[in-house]
Structure 1
Amino acid sequence: MNKRLVAFFVSDRLFHIFLCVFIIGLSVGFMLLDRERYPGAMEWGTISYFVVLALFFIGLWLAVDYVRQKAFFMQVKHAIERSGDLGGSAIVQSAVTREQQLVVRLLEEQHSAYLNELGKYRRSQELHNHFVLQWVHHMKTPVSVIDMLSQDALQQMPGTKEEQKQLIESMKEEAERMTRGLEMMLYTARLDKFELDLLLKRVPLHELIRVVMNTHKRLCIRHSIFPRIEGEAWLETDEKWITVVLNQFVSNAVKYSKSKPGAKGLVFQLESFADGGGKLCVTDEGIGIAPHDMPRIFDPFFTGQNGRETGESTGMGLYLAKQVCDRLGHSLSATSELGVGTTFTVTFESRGIHLFSSK
Structure 2
Amino acid sequence: MIRTFLKDRLAMILFFYMNTGLLILAASLYMHISNEQINAPIAFYLLLLTSFFLIVWLAVDYLHQKTYLKKLHRLAHQKTIALDSSYELEAANPPSREAQAWLRLHKRAQEDIQREVERLEQAQKRHQMFINQWVHHMKTPVSVISLLIQEGKQTLTDKEWLDDISAENDRFRHGLELMLHLARLDHFSLDLKAELVDPAAIARELINEEKRQFIRRGIFPELDAEEAEPVASDSKWLRVVIAQLLHNALKYSPQKQQARIRFSFKKQHHQLEFSIADSGVGIPAKDLPRVFDPFFTGENGRRYQESTGMGLYLAQTIARELGHRLYLHSDPGKGTTATLVFSSKTLHQT
What TM-score, normalized by structure 1, do the two folds share? 0.89
Cα distance, 1:349 vs structure 2: 3.0
The equivalent position to 1:224 in structure 2, one of 206, 210, 218, is 218
In the alignment, what sits opposite 1:86? 82
Q: Take 2:345 and 2:74, find their aligned partners in 1: how far apart are those partners?
A: 32
The equivalent position to 1:329 in structure 2, one of 291, 311, 323, is 323
- Which structure 2 residues correspond to residues 295-314 of structure 1 after superposition, within 5 A? 295-314=289-308
8 A contact 1:79–1:88 mirrored in 2: no
Q: Take 1:113 and 1:186, find their aligned partners in 2: how far apart are those partners?
A: 33
Q: Take 2:73 and 2:338, find their aligned partners in 1: how far apart are those partners?
A: 45
Q: Take 1:140 and 1:116, find their aligned partners in 2: how far apart are those partners?
A: 36
Q: 1:117 to 1:77 in 2, by over 3 A?
A: same
The equivalent position to 1:317 in structure 2, one of 311, 315, 318, is 311
In the alignment, what sits opposite 1:184? 178
Q: Does 1:238 align with 2:240?
A: no
Secondary structure, counterpart of 1:353 in structure 2:
coil
Of residues 331-340 and 130-139 in structure 1, the stretch that sits farther from structure 2 once superposed is 331-340
Q: 1:125 to 1:253 in 2, by over 3 A?
A: same
Of residues 114-123 and 230-239 in structure 1, the stretch that sits farther from structure 2 once superposed is 230-239
In the alignment, what sits opposite 1:108? 107
Give me the CA root mean square deviation. 2.2
- Which structure 2 residues correspond to residues 165-180 of structure 1 after superposition, within 5 A? 165-180=159-174
Cα distance, 1:87 vs structure 2: 4.1
8 A contact 1:271–1:279 mirrored in 2: yes
Of residues 190-199 and 145-154 in structure 1, the stretch that sits farther from structure 2 once superposed is 190-199
Q: 1:214 to 1:85 in 2, by over 3 A?
A: farther
Of residues 342-351 and 88-97 in structure 1, the stretch that sits farther from structure 2 once superposed is 88-97
- Which structure 2 residues correspond to residues 1-359 of structure 1 after superposition, within 5 A? 5-40=1-36, 42=38, 44-87=40-83, 89-90=85-86, 91-93=88-90, 94=92, 95-157=94-156, 160=157, 164-231=158-225, 232-258=228-254, 262-272=257-267, 278-350=272-344, 353-354=347-348
Q: 1:351 to 1:121 in 2, by over 3 A?
A: farther
Secondary structure, counterpart of 1:343 in structure 2:
strand
Describe the superposition over 1:43-88 as per-residue Cα deviations: whole angstroms up to 9, x where unpaired: 5433321111112222232233233334333323332333534347
Of residues 101-110 and 307-316 in structure 1, the stretch that sits farther from structure 2 once superposed is 101-110
Q: 1:171 to 1:80 in 2, by over 3 A?
A: same
- AA partner of residue 251 (structure 2): K
Secondary structure, counterpart of 1:291 in structure 2:
coil
Q: 1:351 to 1:24 in 2, by over 3 A?
A: farther
Secondary structure, counterpart of 2:283 in structure 1:
coil
Cα distance, 1:209 vs structure 2: 0.3
Q: Take 2:191 and 2:73, find their aligned partners in 1: how far apart are those partners?
A: 39
- AA partner of residue 58 (structure 2): L
Q: Take 2:345 and 2:306, find their aligned partners in 1: how far apart are those partners?
A: 37
Q: 1:77 to 1:280 in 2, by over 3 A?
A: farther
8 A contact 1:233–1:271 mirrored in 2: no
Secondary structure, counterpart of 1:271 in structure 2:
strand
Q: Take 2:139 and 2:277, find their aligned partners in 1: how far apart are those partners?
A: 31
Describe the superposition over 1:119-139 as per-residue Cα deviations: whole angstroms up to 9, x where unpaired: 000000000111111111111
Secondary structure, counterpart of 1:186 in structure 2:
helix
Q: 1:22 to 1:273 in 2, by over 3 A?
A: same
Unaligned segments of structure 2, at least 5 residues: none
Q: 1:270 to 1:88 in 2, by over 3 A?
A: farther
Describe the superposition over 1:202-226 as per-residue Cα deviations: whole angstroms up to 9, x where unpaired: 1221111011011221222232322
Q: Take 2:18 and 2:201, find their aligned partners in 1: how far apart are those partners?
A: 86
Secondary structure, counterpart of 1:335 in structure 2:
strand
Unaligned segments of structure 1, at least 5 residues: none
- AA partner of residue 305 (structure 2): G
Q: 1:109 to 1:301 in 2, by over 3 A?
A: same
Cα distance, 1:41 vs structure 2: 7.0
Q: Take 1:117 and 1:202, find their aligned partners in 2: how far apart are those partners?
A: 42
Q: Take 1:72 and 1:52, find their aligned partners in 2: how far apart are those partners?
A: 31
- AA partner of residue 117 (structure 2): L
- AA partner of residue 262 (structure 2): V
Q: Take 1:169 and 1:27, find their aligned partners in 2: how far apart are those partners?
A: 103
Aligned length: 345
8 A contact 2:84–2:110 mirrored in 1: no
Cα distance, 1:265 vs structure 2: 2.3
What's the % identity of the aligned pairs? Answer: 36
Q: Take 1:128 and 1:114, find their aligned partners in 2: how far apart are those partners?
A: 21
